[in-house]
Amino acid sequence: MKNNIIKKSLLFGNIEVFMKLSRITKTSINATLVLMLGLFSIGVQGQDLQTYIDEAVINNPEIQAFDIRYNIAEEKVQEANWLPNTEVTAGYYISEPETRVGAQRARFGIKQMLPWFGTITARENYAISMAETEYVEVTIAKRKLALSVSQSYYNLYEAKAQQNILIENIQLLKTYERLALTSVETGKASAVDVLRLQIRQNELQQQKEVLEEKFKAEQSAFNNLLNRNENEFVEPVAVLEIPTENESYNTEALSLNAELLKYDKLYESVIQSEVLNKREGLPMIGFGIDYLPVSERTDMQVIENGKDVLMPMVTVSIPIFNSKYSSISRQNELRQNEIETQKNQRFNVLKTAFSAAIAQRNQARIKFNTQQKNLNQAKDAEEILIKNYETGTIDFNDVLDIQELQLKFQLNQIESVKTYYTQQSVINYLIQ
């Protein structure tokens, strides 16, 4: 119905009707990105990013593996509460030695070695420190997963939003095509203008189909992060707005990053390892008892004839000639130096990444605002072209040029929004 109205109005020179319809189309094209996205998503509500992140944390196999590693480390705390094996001995005399009270027939013994006081506690503290290190690794893995999910999500948003932009521009070109066909009938345009508009539509259709394939590939990667069917449809949020002001951050917040906290936990584990090493380098004390059954003498009667022998024993194990513990102490010292160096290096890397993310986020805002200015100016140029139509001097080459510029600015705006939020997610990973 609308197409017929346009054709009839043009044939009879009713420019006013066309201008009203044209202004409606132009408004949808030249509005701000947020408004356009809102129009594209009427009746469609994308799923919140945090919901996807929560699902990924629960279902992702890598996170599950890290959780298992942490559970193993926790179990090692219980393992640390152990004592050396109890030694039980038994022997039988082939040639029974004779004693005053009778012949010794056999020998039975039991012995238990005990570590020096505080050794078991030191062992438990070391196991706890290692478990805490594994817990930080779990935290890092979850944060990296959240970052990956966020980045993939914003890629999906970009592909979907750009598809919507292309659909709107294809519809606009169809309107221009109908205008060109009418102009051909009135002798104000040539068939070449119509062909050029059709070719441009084909190009945009191609871009749209390419974006659809890009969306499918990113959707598959996104679903794999969530460990679900890779073909499950993902609906990103319809509207993303760049805040009016940039939030400021201090590099001191980087000191709270889990990647740096990991080195603190590793350093603490080395300290506990050295405490344990000192304890293990102390003597071990053993307590035991030997039992020797004795046969009664038949050749004579003596006091305590045939009385069995019960012999308590104390054993001390002293590491006199063992340089193991001094070597471990030296290794622990070197390990502490290594951890400090690694932490400083990682801190420098994080600071560089933080500065880059801040800069790219701010650049995205600048680009977005510039594209908005360009869109406003392109709108003015389009209005001039429409006015020229009233005088019969419209140039469809100029129409195509303006449409192409508008599309470029719109796509660049979406890319800027994606970049802004992608870099913001990097910032959040680094300081939160």
Which long-range contacts (C-beta less than 8 Å, at least 24 apart) are formed by 135-141? Answer: 135/70, 135/73, 136/258, 136/261, 136/262, 136/265, 137/66, 137/69, 137/70, 137/262, 138/63, 138/66, 138/67, 138/69, 138/70, 139/258, 139/261, 140/258, 140/259, 140/262, 141/62, 141/63, 141/66
Class of domain 2-82+124-272+327-431: mainly alpha
Rounded Cα gap, residues 178 and 197, in angstroms: 10
Q: Which H or E run includes 311?
A: strand 309-317
Q: Which residue has the higher pLDDT, 25 or 204?
A: 204
Write down the domain spans for the chain: 2-82+124-272+327-431
**pLDDT tens digits, residue range 2-19?**
333 333 333 323 333 233
Asked whether the beta carbons of 429 and 146 are under 8 A apart, the reply is: yes
pLDDT of 298 strictly over 80: no
Rounded Cα gap, residues 421 and 432, in angstroms: 15
What pLDDT sits at residue 255?
87
Residue partners of 168: CB distance under 8 A and separation at least 6: 28, 29, 36, 40
**pLDDT tens digits, residue range 352-383?**
999 999 999 999 999 999 999 999 998 888 78
Asked whether the beta carbons of 26 and 382 are under 8 A apart, the reply is: yes
What pLDDT sits at residue 17?
29
Tokens 């609308």 correspond to what residue?
A: 2
**pLDDT tens digits, residue range 81-91?**
888 888 899 88
What pLDDT sits at residue 3?
37
Which residues sit opposite 102 in a β-bridge?
Answer: 99
**pLDDT tens digits, residue range 196-251?**
889 999 999 999 999 999 999 999 999 999 999 999 999 998 888 888 877 778 77
